[in-house]
Amino acid sequence: MLKESHGIKHHALETSRVCGRLERHHQFGEQMLRRITLAALAAVTALAAGLPFPVAGGSKPSVSDLSGPGEPVVVERVLDGDTVSVRGRRERVRLANIDAPEMSHGYGKPGQPFSVQSTKWLTEQVEGKPGVSMRCVDEDRYGRSVCDLYRNGSHVNKELVRAGLAWANTANKRYLRDRTVLDAQEEARAAHRGLWAQPKPVPPWEWRHTCWDGAVCAP
C-alpha cells in the first residue's frame, strides 16, 4: 500500500507539472497573439494614413529616414536664394550646384530680377520647417560650407532651379557636381518659368562682374 500510495503521489506531481507547463505555453501563446494582432493593426493604420510601416521593436523612423540624405538640420534663416543660416553652425551655408539671382548689396550693387522671389521660395520651403537635412560637399573661399539641402527626400537646390528661380552654377566646372541640375534648368527654360520669362536673363556670376564691378547693369 505504501508503494502504491507513493506511486499515486508521484503521478499526481507529474500531472501538476505538465499542467503548469501547458498553462505557461498557453499564456505565452496569448501574449504572442496579442503582439501580432497589435502589430497588424499598427501596419494597417499606417498604410491607411500613408505613413511608413512601424519597424521591428516598435521604434519610430528617424528624422533622417523622413528627410533625405545627410544630417537632419534646422534652417533658422534664409538670407537669399542660395545662402542659409543653420542652427548650431557659426558660418553661413552656401547651397551647392546653384547660383541664385543676387539680392541688393547696397549702393552700386543693385539686386537682380527674381532675387526676391527666389529668397521667398526658399524661405517657404526650409526656414524653420521639419524634415530638412543637409549634405555638405565642400567649403568656399569665405569659409562657408557648401551643401545640398533636402526636405522630405526632395533635393531643394535642384527644385529651386526647376522653379526658374536659380541657375545651375556653371561659372566653374568644379561648382556643378550634380549634372541633373542642368536638366532641371532646361526644363525651367523650356517652360519660361521665373527668370526664364525674361528676354535676356543674366547669370549671377556675370551680373557681379559687369554690374557690380563694371557698373554696366542690365535694365
Q: Is 94 a catalytic residue?
A: yes
Catalytic residue, candidates 89, 92, 135, 144: 144
Q: Is 92 a catalytic residue?
A: no
**String of DSSP letters for 55-117:** PGGGPPPPHHHHH-SSEE--EEEEEETTEEEETT-SS-EEETTEEPPPPP-STT-PPPTTHHH
Q: CA 10 to CA 16: how far, in whole Å?
A: 10
Other residues' Cβ atoms within 10 Å of the Cβ of residue 96:
24
3-state DSSP call for residue 16?
A: helix
CA 155 from centre of chain: 8
Give φ, ψ of 157 to 5 degrees. -55, -50
Give φ, ψ of 17 to 5 degrees. -65, -45
Catalytic residue, candidates 102, 159, 162, 208: 102
Q: Is 102 a catalytic residue?
A: yes
Indicate the helix (H) or strand (E) that contains 40: helix 2-49
C-alpha cell at 72: 537632419
Active-site positions? Answer: 94, 102, 144
